[in-house]
Structure 1
Amino acid sequence: MGAVLVVGGANVDVIARSAAPFVAGTSNPGTAHSSAGGVGRNIAANLGLLGVPTTLIAAFGNDTFGRRLEDETRSAGVDLGHAVQLPMPSGSYLAMLDADGELVGAVSDMTATESLLPEHVREGVVAAASYLVVDTNLSAPLLEHVCRTAASHGVPVVLDPVSDLKAQRLLPVLGAVPIHTITPTRSELAALSGESDLVSGVHALHAAGIAKVWVREGARGSTLFGEDAAVHIPAIPAEVRDVTGAGDAMCAAYVHGLTIGLDDATAATRGAVAAYLTITSDFTVRPDLSAELVEHVMEEKR
């Protein structure tokens, strides 16, 4: 079986956290740090740390940020042989967190990622993958191209909608090709389905050819909706350090579980554990993440 192929965003995260409850419209004392980020890049790095052979196709700028992104991604064990360097600045993401580590607001510049073209993703690379993971930082034409290519070669696709606005880039894909799993929040589900009701939204995505709809609700846990049954996966109670990257770790551990033959619900439970490990660390991608650590926490919290 081939490596997992991830096609998505790569950028440098700058994360600021207020020392007290966040007050809008003024300066808030706190702390700040930067790290390699981007939804696709984070998923790929988590997969690499979990021991999954992983290839990332992403755009890196020809700047200091780009070199940092490449170095930190390779150090997680990810193959960058098909990544693209473009003559422009690397992507960036600025997030503001409150004192509890919850997101107050964010701004992203994903121009480099949106400049990726279908010719940057070769058919043979997609065809050789065991799974394809994509995020909606990609342009709508590239999303459609990679999903159609995967479908033509029977490669299961896992989609991360990223945000309410960017989720709508998936609309040309829905109903056009089969999708293994999508991982929306409640608001992203509404943006994709046009339905405010949870069950109606899930049914709409199932009707559009998505086999698994994994709805993420933060501290309330998540629910994996198959076409015939739904499984709720509780979140592990945690003292939150930083929520950034939790969904990326969750997706990666889920895909890892699928690659080793676990059933969907067990794979999703591993995802919840990886999210817990991420939010209780100060890192967007926890550097000591491993399959063994996930297994240990699963046993400990059982």
Structure 2
Amino acid sequence: MRTVLVVGGANVDVVARSTGRFTMGTSNPGRAYTSAGGVGRNIAANLGRLGVPTELITAFGNDTFGTRLYDETASAAVDLTHSVELGMPSGSYLAMLDAEGELVGAVADMAAAESLRPEHVPSRVVADSSYVVLDANLSVEVLEHVCRAAAAADVPVVIDPVSVPKAQRMASVLKAWPVHTITPTRTELVALSGVDDPQDGVAALHAQGVGRVWVREGVGGSTLFTPDSSQHIPAITADVQNVTGAGDSMTAAYVQGLAAGFDDVTAARRGAAAAYLTITSEHTVRPDLSPALIEHVLKEQ
């Protein structure tokens, strides 16, 4: 299996979960912890856990957080040869969860990822990859550079829009280069397409050359749209411990499935199983995630 290249953000997650009903505008009793995170980093670490040869290009800060991020990512068998250390603080993500583990709100400081430049991502590394996975924490210049290099080498690109504000960075990319799959939430779909109706929004992205639009709806499951069909994939009922990282594991297992030769829908179902395994764990990247564990979940379902 050829290497999957992931280019995106790495940051330390600071997650606080209330022990009772979350009340806005005041202090809530609960507990807090830190973990290695970042959309791109999480996807790469999950791919490594799933046995996929994976390279991550990201920016680490020159601080203790940067050292931790590097070490924990490398321990997941991720190649960091072309990642860089910048003279600035590492990225950080502060998330507040309610007692059910659902996200109440978050703030992301991704200045390090946004400081990556096109020269940090060699075109030959892109061309040698089986798939390229991007997150929208990157600058427009880097997103355009990587998509241009991937298109020239006929390498399929999978994009995570990350958030509504960052999804808007994708406009020039989607108009100029083909994208294999994009994975928006409903609100990110509106930001990407400029259309309120989901069906029309998906059609608008297909018209721009996006092959597959995989719309995520949390407990409502997800729907994988191609230009000719759509398939709803139910979420697996779970005792939620922590939703942080669920979408990242979902994307990783999907790409692992595609790289292993599964069809789109089967790969997406594997993604749903990985998301279930993640939210039933307290870890952002579940340490025991494996293809066998995903197969076990799918067999039970």
Q: Shorter-chain-normalised TM-score: which range?
A: over 0.9
How much does 1:182 deviate?
0.2
Q: Deviations over 1:76-121 (max 9, x none)?
A: 1100011011011100000000000000000111111000000000
Aligned to 2:87: 87
Aligned partners of 1:245, 1:8: CA distance in 2, in Å?
14
Alignment partner of 2:240: what SS? Answer: coil
2:63 maps to: 63
For structure 2, the residue ranges without an aligned partner over 5 or more in a row are none
* CA deviations over 1:13-32 (Å, ceiling 9, x no partner): 00000000110111100010
The one-letter code sitting in structure 2 at the alignment partner of 1:74 is A
- After TM superposition, give the deviation of residue 175 of structure 1 in Å: 2.1
The equivalent residue for 2:190 is: 190
CA contact (8 A) 1:213 1:226 kept: yes
Please state how far the C-alpha of 1:258 moved relative to its aligned partner: 0.2
Which residue of 2 is the match for residue 111 of structure 1? Answer: 111
Deviation at 1:174, TM superposition (A): 1.3
- Determine the C-alpha separation between the residues in 2 that align with 1:80 and 1:142: 18
Structure 2 Cα separation of the partners of residues 141 and 75 of structure 1:
30
* Mapped partners of 2:249, 2:221: distance in 1: 14
Instruction: Identify the residue that residue 223 of structure 1 maps to in structure 2.
Output: 223
Decide whether the 8 Å contact of 1:60 with 1:69 is kept in 2. yes
**Counterpart secondary structure, 1:173:** helix
Per-residue Cα deviation, 1:143-176 (whole angstroms, up to 9, x for no partner): 1111111111100000000000000110011121
Give, in whole Å, the separation in 1 of the partners of 2:185 and 2:9.
Answer: 19
Answer yes or no: is 1:76 the counterpart of 2:76: yes
Residue 234 of structure 2 corresponds to: 234
Corresponding position of 2:100: 100
Q: Which residue pairs with 2:271 in the alignment?
A: 271
The 4+ residue runs of structure 1 with deviation greater than 6 A are none
Percent of counterpart pairs with the same letter?
70
RMSD of the TM alignment (CA)?
Answer: 0.6
Match for residue 131 of structure 1? 131
2:257 aligns to what? Answer: 257
Alignment partners' CA distance in 1, 2:2 and 2:170: 25
- Contact 1:175 / 1:207 at 8 angstroms: preserved in 2? no
Structure 1: 5+ residue runs without aligned partners? none
The amino acid that maps onto 2:235 is: A
Give the number of aligned pairs. Answer: 301
- State the partner residue of 1:31: 31
- Cα distance in structure 2, aligned partners of 1:153 and 1:2: 14
Task: Give the CA deviation at 1:300.
Answer: 1.1
Cα distance in 1 for residues equivalent to 2:85 and 2:176? 31
Matching residue's letter, 1:149: A
Cα deviation for residue 2 of structure 1 reads 2.5
Other structure's SS at 2:174 match: coil
**Amino acid aligned to 1:103:** L
The residue number in structure 2 matching 1:204 is 204
User: What residue number does 2:141 align with?
Assistant: 141
The reply on whether 1:2 has 2:2 as its aligned counterpart is yes
Is the contact made by 1:13 and 1:94 (CA closer than 8 Å) also made in structure 2?
Answer: yes
